[in-house]
Amino acid sequence: MRKFKRLSALVAVSAVPFFFVLMTGTAEAIRIANHCEPAPGDR
Amino acid sequence: MIADRFARRRRVALIRRCLLRGVYCRRRGWYAEGERWARRADEAAREVDLAGRATLLVDLASLWHALTRYPESHACARRAAELLTPSPPGPGRDGPLSDALVRMGDVERRQARYVPAEVHLRHAFALAPETDHERGAAVRLALGVLCKELGRYGEAETCYRDALTRLDRLGGEHPMRADALHNLAGLAHTRGDPGGERYARAAIEARRRTLGPRPGPRHDHVAADLAVLGALLAGQGRHAEAEETLHRAMDIFRERLGADHYEVAVCQVNLARLDHLQGRAEQAGRRYRDALRIKRLTLGPGHPEVRRLSALVAEVGDGLAGKG
């Protein structure tokens, strides 16, 4: 019984990325953003 | 021959599996694990001819970029561009090639290689189909950030506003909308325009709506928006609010990305300025030196930002020596 539980937990954990893949694919949106620092003359 | 084809197919499937796991880990904020999968995908991608599968390389470049591993992202994007360029023009080639060029251009801009960055981004701009609002917005955001760094603020604003218009046309809450608002806030900061605060707050709200419950408010993208808000508040002389906001951002960056990340250095520079303005010269000096150490590590000694900060650290050091 314990073995079965462990196996089903393993299957569930491995399946998560596959469901995730089915839903979203591998294309990760990138973040293109600027950074803010004080201008050199401000210091 | 058949064995070769079978081996290639297995290798491609391995790359896809590693990519999926990497993207999953990245979205959950598990950077170390995400990097492990990206590295495995990268190794597998080096061992196989990916002609006809260049989009996998674009996806890998995007994953490396999202993990803030920019040289690796550039290498994958460049390989994808090299594979795609000889193909005949058409939607199957132009879209992924535009994506690859945006990733290359954005990394080059971060490395202060502005001339190739602009060449690649203009090429991507020409390739992105007029009706593809998502790609069009990504190219405009990348071009806008480049223009801002080159001091072409009017052009940067046009790019950001065009990107926002395109994202609004898509409907719903696209994650890139928060980036466009973030960038408008950053541009306002550079111009000394106090109106940027509303963009920064709108970016934080938009980001919270698009991110899942985990890590949610502790996501490094939220931290980046908080950092912009902190810089804007500092610019308005609201020192206590700015300090609190910048500390919140820096804590998240340290937790998510590590203590030696570029984002931590940016927060340290902003906090150092606040220390300096409030007469805490020694604390300011410590922060500037820490930021310089991180920037040297992440950008390399020849980067213009490192040179500027080095000069500032020397100036602050001289000031302290003069007092002592």
**What amino acid occupies position B258?**
G
| The pLDDT value given to residue B324 | 46
Residue B14 sits in the same domain as residue B77:
yes
Averaged pLDDT for residues B192-221? 87
Residues in B 115-154 with any Cβ partner in A closer than 8 A: 138, 141-142, 145, 148-149
Residue B9 sits in the same domain as residue B29:
yes
Report the residue from A21, A37, A38 with minimal CB separation from B20.
A21
Give tens-digit pLDDT for B151-176. 999 999 999 999 999 999 988 889 89
Say if A41 is an interface residue toward chain B (CB within 8 Å): no
Residue B99 sits in the same domain as residue B139:
yes
Q: What are phi and psi of B52, to 5 degrees?
A: 85, -5
Least confident piece of the model among A15-29, B117-131, B148-162, B199-213: A15-29
Domain contains B271 = no
Letter string b/e over residues B246-283, b meaning 16 or more CB atoms within 10 A of that residue's CB = bebbbebbbebbeeebbbbbbbbbbbbbbbbbeeeeee
Averaged pLDDT for residues B314-324? 68
| More confidently predicted of B312 and B2 | B312
Domain contains B46 = yes
Residue B79 sits in the same domain as residue B105:
no
| The pLDDT value given to residue B296 | 96
Give tens-digit pLDDT for B45-97. 999 888 889 999 999 999 999 998 999 999 999 999 999 999 999 888 999 99
Averaged pLDDT for residues B30-55? 93
Domain contains B282 = no
Percent pLDDT > 90 in chain B is 80
H/E stretch holding B268: helix B262-277
**Per-residue pLDDT for B272 more than 90?**
yes
Residue B130 sits in the same domain as residue B150:
yes
Domain contains B108 = yes
Q: Where in B266-318 does DSSP place strands (E)?
A: none
| The pLDDT value given to residue B306 | 96
Find, in chain A, the residue whose alpha carbon is nearest to that of B156: A34
Q: Into how many domains does chain B fold?
A: 2
| The pLDDT value given to residue B207 | 92
Averaged pLDDT for residues A30-36? 88
CATH number of the domain residue B118 falls in? 1.25.40.10
**Per-residue pLDDT for A14 more than 70?**
no
| The pLDDT value given to residue B319 | 67
Residue B11 sits in the same domain as residue B48:
yes
Domain contains B197 = no
Residue B71 sits in the same domain as residue B118:
no
| The pLDDT value given to residue B215 | 65
Residue B78 sits in the same domain as residue B99:
no
**Per-residue pLDDT for A20 more than 60?**
no
Domain residues for the domain of B147 are: 93-168
Q: How far is A13 from chain B (nearest CA, A)?
A: 12
Residue B36 sits in the same domain as residue B59:
yes
Domain contains B314 = no
**Per-residue pLDDT for B184 more than 70?**
yes
